[in-house]
Amino acid sequence: MTFYVTTPIYYANSLPHLGHLYTMIVADTVARHKRQQGIETFFLTGTDEHGINIERAAERAGRTPKEQADYVVNYFKKMTDEFRLDTVHGGYDMFMRTSEPFHYEGVSELWRRAAKAKTPKGNDAIYKGHYEGWFCAPCAAYKTEDEYAKPAEAGAPPTCLIHETPLDRISEESYFFRLSDYAEALLALYESRPGFVQPESRNNEVTAFVRGGLQDLSVSRLKTSVSWGVPVPDDPDHTMYVWFDALTNYITAIGFGNEERERAVGFEKFWPALHLVGKDILRFHAVYWPAFLMAAGVEQPRAIVAHGMWLDPKGRKMSKTLGNTVDLDVLSRHFSIDAIRYFCLREMVFGQDGRFGYEALIDRTNSDLASGLGNLSSRTLTMISRYADGLIPSGVISEDKLLLAKRTGVDTDETTISGFIEHARDQIRQHFEAFAFSKALETSWSVVARVDKMISDAKPWELAKDENQKQTLSAVLYRAAETLRWLCVLLYPIMPTATLEIWTQLGLGNAPGVPATPAGIDPAKLKWGELAEGTAIGEVKPLFPRIDKAKTMGEIKEQEQTAGADGRSDRAANDRQSPRSSVQSQPALGTGDVPPAMSVEREHHSGVHATEADAVLASPNTPQTKPSPSMISATEADAVSSAEGVTSFIDITDFTKVDLRVGEVLSAQRIPKADKLLLLTVDIGEEKSRQILAGIAQYYEPEQLLGRKIAVVANLKPRKLRGYESQGMLLAASVGDEGKPVIATFTEDVPNGARLK
């Protein structure tokens, strides 16, 4: 059995930051989890080195494109080395670069196959046509919607944001990929392969996008416009569209189209891959890539799994343009690698966006790691050294001592704790399979809490005073140590360094018949009681020193200021001008943001050109009319109370006319051209979920609402808004002068459909 996981290949025009690190950490965790199960795993990462943006970044920096790529690659390798994500530290197996000659061979092969193919509708999959777009002569480049200013008067051309001069509408010969013929085949693929696009909410978005109709894709540029790229086979006047080139890295890296690579890794052996991507590039992976592969007759990937984006503490997407990215130098200087890994996977609910704040990172390090796992480990080991001569004691309480042990309140039935941990192990494994790392960690910490409590309740320091309670004391210490052994194995993929440290301190690093690291044990095969009595523990050392918050925050601020003032000017210069650099500040291509984003593309780029800049979506800030008051929220128009207080009284019978129900938000998305509205599907305990429109889009990210319990007016007459029927209304408080909605919610567990009265 083999397993193949990939990260996106990162653009070689800007330097790595937390966003890139996060994807690497997730992929690394997945790879380690698979390897731990004895599955031969290949983990690929790398850089995307072609295209106009890299050409330009190179020009600005006075480098050749290859030198520019080398420069950025060095930084990525520095990151993978510093954060122990490289091969030496058990991380990636290969760092792919699209400027490698073997990649050219493989991409050309894929193109040739596609070019020979017929679409499912019997047309040529690739054909020659004309690309039409807005061109800026001084920039010598086509401009996408976010790169030009719309004209003040209708009919006039837009203007370049850099030069403020009018753009020319020009057209250029280009090859097109007949994507429009693949919609049915793609829908059939999503339908027949549940889990092909994950999480499910992303699958729904992709499906909705494809259902909306697909436009053919321009897949080449004239060499005179873009020269840094793979030439189109048999037509060197054309350079391949950079996404065609980039996506293909996933197969060329392991041997597609090149025998040497095939021998070194093996396309036959490892394909299909699980592609881990940020939701910003979901469309390319879940729509374009499968279509290219269909045309070329290559097997589809195993899955496309999209994670969310890191936002700053104010909830803005991290972007170089906003200057709110988290600097890797700052991170590595103040935090241990495992604390960062833990934080990233714990704090970000996989698939949803997450906020990053140094204070939160410090708090979690101190509470969950220093006081949590670290403290459990050090107190257990210290007591073993103090009360058991540094040897793992026996966990058995003999018959004649059972009663005595019971009197101290210690549960004499060892299966109570082993059963608890086995159950937790099963849950953690399931969470790993579902990429629910946050839940896996929550469950693990329930184990930490449980054992901490066992120790505090048993008071080993008291037991140690009574010779008759020696066995009880030993059993408590054994259970704590055995739990630590299990936690090492379960947490290894997420915290490889700290778990190895605990493993070694438990004396397992060189114990006979035991793998030297927790990497060598499949969690499924863990058996309670396999920690051998008599094992000599190692030296007890602190794992996660507590961080002095005020001091560290001060240092971070200082470091950020200095870095902003000097060190990273190169980075900033590249990023500011790069058309790609704003991608993280744009609406994501995935979430609830997808419908507007994708429809923007359809309207403005339709049948035209999909360059790499196409990945930068136009902001759908189209003017819109105010939604009808009742759609804003109950409080703004419909509620009886007003800001001034209760204006009139109602009878209880009036109130009972309102059917208020508990609902759970199953999905949430934005609506094209309506930047105030969110379209929700809500389960209110009926057979079919309700579709509800809510005027809260300016205050809530769709992701924030998923899974949230809300109060719904269930018997409000359905009404249509913007072409969507709203079958109810959610309740929200109206706060402040601008009437900011704050959704009413429940702090306790309530079933969907429960009535509010």
Provide CB contacts within 8 A for 446, sequence distance 6+: 424
- β-strands 235-240, 220-222: how paired? antiparallel
Member of 3, 4, 5, 10 binding ligand MSP (CB under 6 A): 10
Is 17 a known active-site residue? yes
Least separation in angstroms between residue 289's CB and ligand MSP is: 8
Radius of gyration of the chain (CA): 29
Q: Which of 257, 287, 250, 290 is nearest to 271 (CA)?
A: 250
Distance, in Å, from the CA atom of 249 to the CA atom of 498, rounded to the nearest integer, reads 34
Q: Which stretch binds ligand MSP (CB under 6 A): 9-17, 504-512, 681-689, 693-701?
A: 9-17
Least separation in angstroms between residue 287's CB and ligand MSP is: 13
Binding status of residue 22 toward ligand MSP by CB under 6 A = yes
Is 320 a known active-site residue? yes
CA dihedral 374, 376, 382, 386 (to 10 degrees): 180
Least separation in angstroms between residue 20's CB and ligand MSP is: 5
Tokens of 347: 């704090």
User: Which helix (H) or strand (E) covers residue 44, if one does?
Assistant: strand 40-48
Q: What is the DSSP string of 291-326?
A: HHHHHHT-PPPSEEEEE--EE-TTSPBP-TTTT-PP
Q: Which stretch binds ligand MSP (CB under 6 A): 2-10, 35-43, 124-132, 683-691?
A: 2-10
Residues 147-206 that bind ligand MSP (CB under 6 A): none
Q: Which stretch binds ligand MSP (CB under 6 A): 20-28, 67-75, 567-575, 593-601?
A: 20-28
Distance, in Å, from the CA atom of 565 to the CA atom of 554, rounded to the nearest integer, reads 17
Residues 565-624 that bind ligand MSP (CB under 6 A): 583-584
Least separation in angstroms between residue 236's CB and ligand MSP is: 23
Least separation in angstroms between residue 111's CB and ligand MSP is: 16
Distance, first Cα to last Cα, the chain = 56
CA distances from 696 to 585, 720, 744, 752 (A): 20, 17, 12, 22
Member of 4, 5, 9, 609 binding ligand MSP (CB under 6 A): 9
Nearer to ligand MSP (CB atom), residue 46 or residue 372 = 46
Distance, in Å, from the CA atom of 149 to the CA atom of 161, rounded to the nearest integer, reads 6
Q: How many residues bind ligand MSP (CB under 6 A)?
A: 20
Member of 281, 480, 490, 600 binding ligand MSP (CB under 6 A): 281
Least separation in angstroms between residue 310's CB and ligand MSP is: 4
Q: Which stretch binds ligand MSP (CB under 6 A): 277-285, 428-436, 624-632, 681-689?
A: 277-285
Phi, psi of 3 (to 5 degrees): -145, 140
Least separation in angstroms between residue 491's CB and ligand MSP is: 23
Tokens of 159: 């203007």
Member of 25, 30, 309, 616 binding ligand MSP (CB under 6 A): 309
Binding status of residue 271 toward ligand MSP by CB under 6 A = no
Member of 3, 4, 8, 669 binding ligand MSP (CB under 6 A): 8
CA atoms within 13 A on the CB side of 296: 23
Member of 310, 387, 528, 700 binding ligand MSP (CB under 6 A): 310
Q: Which of 17, 33, 439, 605 is catalytic?
A: 17
Q: What is the DSSP string of 350-387?
A: TTS-EE--HHHHHHHIIIIIIIIIIHHHHHHHHHHHHH
Binding status of residue 27 toward ligand MSP by CB under 6 A = no
Q: Are the CB atoms for 8 and 283 separated by under 8 Å? A: no
Nearer to ligand MSP (CB atom), residue 22 or residue 104 = 22
Is 160 a known active-site residue? yes
Q: Which of 33, 103, 139, 344 is catalytic?
A: 139
Binding status of residue 318 toward ligand MSP by CB under 6 A = yes
Q: Which of 605, 613, 618 is nearest to 176 (CA)?
A: 605
Provide CB contacts within 8 A for 111, sequence distance 6+: 126, 232, 233, 240, 244
Nearer to ligand MSP (CB atom), residue 51 or residue 695 = 51
CA atoms within 13 A on the CB side of 464: 12
Q: Which of 33, 34, 103, 136 is catalytic?
A: 136
Least separation in angstroms between residue 317's CB and ligand MSP is: 6
Q: Which of 143, 279, 320, 676 is catalytic?
A: 320
Nearer to ligand MSP (CB atom), residue 353 or residue 664 = 353
Is 139 a known active-site residue? yes
Q: Which of 643, 732, 655 is nearest to 692 (CA)?
A: 732
Binding status of residue 75 toward ligand MSP by CB under 6 A = no
Q: Which of 160, 279, 488, 605 is catalytic?
A: 160
Q: Are the CB atoms for 110 and 257 separated by under 8 Å? A: yes
Member of 65, 106, 255, 278 binding ligand MSP (CB under 6 A): 278
Burial label for 468, CB within 10 Å (0-12, 13-18, 19+), is exposed
Q: Which stretch binds ligand MSP (CB under 6 A): 3-11, 166-174, 408-416, 482-490?
A: 3-11
The interaxial angle of helices 437-458 and 337-347, nearest 10 deg, is: 110
Binding status of residue 20 toward ligand MSP by CB under 6 A = yes
Tokens of 717: 């007459």
Binding status of residue 678 toward ligand MSP by CB under 6 A = no
Least separation in angstroms between residue 572's CB and ligand MSP is: 16
As separate numbers, helices (DSSP H) first and strands (DSSP E) second, the chain gives: 28, 29
Q: Could you tell me the sign of the dihedral formed by the alpha carbons of 313, 318, 321, 326, in that order? A: positive
Q: Are the CB atoms for 50 and 12 separated by under 8 Å? A: no
Nearer to ligand MSP (CB atom), residue 16 or residue 695 = 16
Binding status of residue 247 toward ligand MSP by CB under 6 A = yes
Nearer to ligand MSP (CB atom), residue 109 or residue 245 = 245
Binding status of residue 229 toward ligand MSP by CB under 6 A = no
Nearer to ligand MSP (CB atom), residue 583 or residue 713 = 583
Binding status of residue 11 toward ligand MSP by CB under 6 A = yes
Is 488 a known active-site residue? no
Tokens of 716: 């409000």
Binding status of residue 23 toward ligand MSP by CB under 6 A = yes
Q: Which of 103, 279, 307, 317 is catalytic?
A: 317
Least separation in angstroms between residue 703's CB and ligand MSP is: 13
Phi, psi of 22 (to 5 degrees): -60, -50
Helix, strand, or coil (residue 520): helix
Q: Which of 116, 121, 163, 453 is catalytic?
A: 163
Nearer to ligand MSP (CB atom), residue 272 or residue 509 = 272
Residues 420-479 that bind ligand MSP (CB under 6 A): none
Q: What is the DSSP letter of 636?
A: I
Residue nearest to ligand MSP (CB): 19
Distance, in Å, from the CA atom of 407 to the CA atom of 223, rounded to the nearest integer, reads 84
Helices (H), 151-307: 183-192, 200-211, 242-247, 249-252, 259-264, 267-270, 282-283, 289-296
Member of 55, 93, 280, 501 binding ligand MSP (CB under 6 A): 280
Q: What does the per-residue mask of binding to ligand MSP show for 39-68, with x meaning CB under 6 A?
A: ---------x--------------------
Member of 69, 246, 521, 662 binding ligand MSP (CB under 6 A): 246
Strand partners, 276: 305
Nearer to ligand MSP (CB atom), residue 258 or residue 325 = 325
Binding status of residue 277 toward ligand MSP by CB under 6 A = yes
Contact residues for ligand MSP (CB under 6 A)? 8-11, 19-20, 22-23, 48, 246-247, 277-278, 280-281, 309-310, 318, 583-584
Report the catalytic residues: 17, 20, 136, 139, 160, 163, 317, 320
